[in-house]
Amino acid sequence: MVKFFFVPMLTLLVSIPAGFLLIGPLATFGSTLIAQGVMTVRNFSPMLAGALVGLTWQILVIFGLHWGFIPVYINNIMTNGYDNVMMPFFACTFATSAVVLAIFFKTKNRQLKEMALPNFISGIFGVTEPAIYGILLSLKKPFIISCIAGCIGGGFYGAFNFRKFMMGGMGIFEFPAMIEPDGGMGNLIVALAGVAITMVIVFAATMIFYKDDKKTAEKRRQEIVKRKADRWKLREHLRQYLKRRRHGPPCFIRRSFTVRSEEGC
């Protein structure tokens, strides 16, 4: 009883001050520093800045440091009418989606396959955290592949000055915000081309380089053996049941719980 009271209380007493006094300020300082560094790089090479954002975006998401780009993003849209500093991250959304889709087709692990398809669906709608935390971090190689593909897509976006003209929307719902204010479709074509390049690269690379590890393969083998044993047990139980029914006693118990005599059977 004492444990159930003191453990949550002590957890809050330690984590809340640490969050407000140490972790929060450090995260704010770090994210601001990263955003300023990307803008500095963009002044002499937009392609390099885009590649840098695409390469590191998923890592920044893991630590929450991507929030440092949000003030820059909002300020650019309000003052310039568009943002082109943060937007190379858009390639990472579809890189993450494509890598879990490739895993869905490549893996023989039933549990991993069941996780991959829902994570792909959430990813194309802009929510990539389930794929990152649920699949990619534990597998490592697909995570690295998605970061490299995001770097290539981000560099493409930086080179072609990819922009977003209004706030709102995530994933595929962001495409309308990429249509130019005068109705031009050039920026939207750049968006679609970047998504296609990124997804093709990451899907192909994952299909080539990803393999289920030995532990996963052994786990799958054990699952198959267990299912076969369960089927054999079920078949044996059914055989015994039918045998008892076939050679069972000739008499039975009535619903009134009276037993018929053998002469009347």
Task: Give the three-class secondary structure for 259.
Answer: strand
Q: Give the separation between CA 243 and CA 256, rounded to whole angstroms.
A: 27
Task: Give the three-class secondary structure for 83.
Answer: strand
What is the residue whose two structure tokens read 């037993």?
259
* Short-list 70, 93, 79, 80, CA closest to 172: 93
* Short-list 212, 171, 201, CA closest to 99: 201
Strand-pairing partners, residue 9, are none
No. of helices (H) and no. of strands (E), the chain:
11, 0
* Short-list 186, 178, 210, 214, CA closest to 98: 210
Amino acid 219: pLDDT:
66
Q: Which two tokens stand for residue 189?
A: 């074509």
Alpha carbon 80 to chain centroid, angstroms: 33
Give per-10-residue mean pLDDT for the chain (265 aa): 72 81 74 76 87 90 83 87 89 93 89 89 90 88 92 93 88 91 92 94 93 68 76 81 66 46 44
Amino acid 15: pLDDT:
82
Amino acid 202: pLDDT:
94
Amino acid 263: pLDDT:
44
Strand-pairing partners, residue 83, are 164
